Structure 1
Amino acid sequence: MQKLSNGAFQLSKSRGANGYVIPLGETYAVIDPGMKSGAQAVIAELTGAGMLGTVSHILLTHYDIDHAGAALALATETGAQLWIGRADADILTGRRPAGTFSRRITSSIGRPKLPETVYYLGESPGFPADITALPTPGHTPGHHAFVWGSSVFSGDAVMVNPDGTLKQFPRLLITDKAQALDSTAVLEALDVRWVCPGHGKVTARR
């Protein structure tokens, strides 16, 4: 586990996507623990860091399997609340179809499973006061970024260039291009120092 310059931690054992840990006083929030195949490695990593017993929240930027696949196992192990955008939760539970043909094909291969009790970003009470859940739809309809102090954890809303400027994912991976562009503008306007993306390096904005 790597401690970042912003005071958060980046998981070393999450598979498929970058996973992060945010300190919340006496507890921790885990953002995007990665693929199901890496769940036990993430649990072991958190155990080794002395954090597992105090993980209180699991925050999902979106429903993709490389970000959310390990969430159920981690929630079961820790009893932590799992938070996700309602639109993305509805896709995982089959109440809403994925928005594009390519995403429907991907969803048919495998969908992350959710615990029986799910907390909806922007709706349910009890979200950590130190973190802002920012709706950033486009990549998926329920995508959220998380702002904490001088950092934004951007998931797959954007990719980040070496100079800290933001760019879009390839069109094939975007559900709604117009929404994605709007979300990029929202993220560009944030007064933050660090961009912590779902893929690629944590980058300082210049």
Structure 2
Amino acid sequence: METTQVTPDIWMFRFTAGQAYALRLPDGWALIDTGLPGHATEILAALGELGAAPGDLRHIFLTHHHIDHIGNAAELAAATGAEVLAGAADAPVIRGEAPGPAPVFSADWERELFTTVHAQLADVPPPTPTRVDRELTDGSPLNWGLPAQAVHVPGHTDGSMALHLPQSRVLFTGDTIANHPQVMLGVFNTDHARAMASFRKQARLEVDIALFGHGEPLVGGAGERLREVAAELR
């Protein structure tokens, strides 16, 4: 796992596939996603290096139910007592009560990429089901000591959620939007049309910084770039 500071209060944890983010709050810390299974100890150590004891982790915000996002949630929640938040439609999958729906591929290249990615993750253990303490819907406010709001962005999964910090003009997109190798609609969606609508919804937000589940963060001018790409979506 690689740790990179993005802003004075945000750090990115990069894994073999995907990434998670640590957000320093006025009174504690939040994690946005938790990476592939098997990295809980590393994440806690990385937080410790940033000055956060396990009990300082107050919230775990899961953007959706895929393995590279919920992989360490159960272990981290147990170790820290953090509140776990996720979209209402994804919560049953995260709890292990229902299977996650399969993606609907938009082209042969996407199907081939899916096969390649899953072959690379063949040895990764399945995530442990975890509790979801709060099921989020569109516009759910978050009592984090700073302005923060959940944004429902279905299409990648039914319950995909983005996180918007309006005061600092930051957007955590989850996998609805990627920056790999350029800003683009995320892949492996369950509903292509809804995913495009969710991309456009995020592009309408006033943001300067966009942080993705896959790809490099955009620091500065993120909103303009999202709107440029949204206008070209077909």
TM class, shorter-length = 0.7 to 0.9
1:1-206 superposed matches below 5 A: 1-5=3-7, 7-11=9-13, 14-52=15-53, 53-93=55-95, 95-100=97-102, 112-116=127-131, 118-122=133-137, 127-128=143-144, 130-148=147-165, 149-160=168-179, 166-170=183-187, 173-203=188-218, 204=220, 205=222, 206=224
Q: Which runs of 4+ in 1 moved over 6 A?
A: 123-126
Distance apart, 1:168 and its partner CA: 1.3
Distance apart, 1:200 and its partner CA: 0.7
Conserved 8 A contact 2:30-2:61: yes
Percent identity over paired residues: 29
TM-score by length of 2: 0.74
CA deviation map 1:80-103 (0-9, x unaligned): 001111211112345444333679
State how far apart, in whole Å, the 2-side matches of 1:113 and 1:99 are.
18
Conserved 8 A contact 2:170-2:209: yes
CA deviation map 1:153-198 (0-9, x unaligned): 11101113788xx42123xx10011110110100111110011000
State how far apart, in whole Å, the 2-side matches of 1:121 and 1:6 are.
27
Conserved 8 A contact 2:96-2:130: no
In terms of Rg, which structure is larger? 2
- Identify unmatched segments of 5+ residues in structure 2: 106-117, 119-123, 225-234
Conserved 8 A contact 2:154-2:161: yes
Distance apart, 1:6 and its partner CA: 6.1
Conserved 8 A contact 1:6-1:151: no
Q: Residue 85 of structure 2: SS of its match in structure 1?
A: strand
Q: Which moved more, 1:187-196 or 1:15-24?
A: 15-24
Corresponding residue pairs, total: 198
Q: Residue 72 of structure 1: SS of its match in structure 2?
A: helix
Alpha carbons of structure 1 residues 2 and 92: separation in structure 2 relative to 1, 3 Å: closer
CA deviation map 1:133-167 (0-9, x unaligned): 1001110000000011211011101113788xx42
TM-score by length of 1: 0.83
- Identify unmatched segments of 5+ residues in structure 1: none
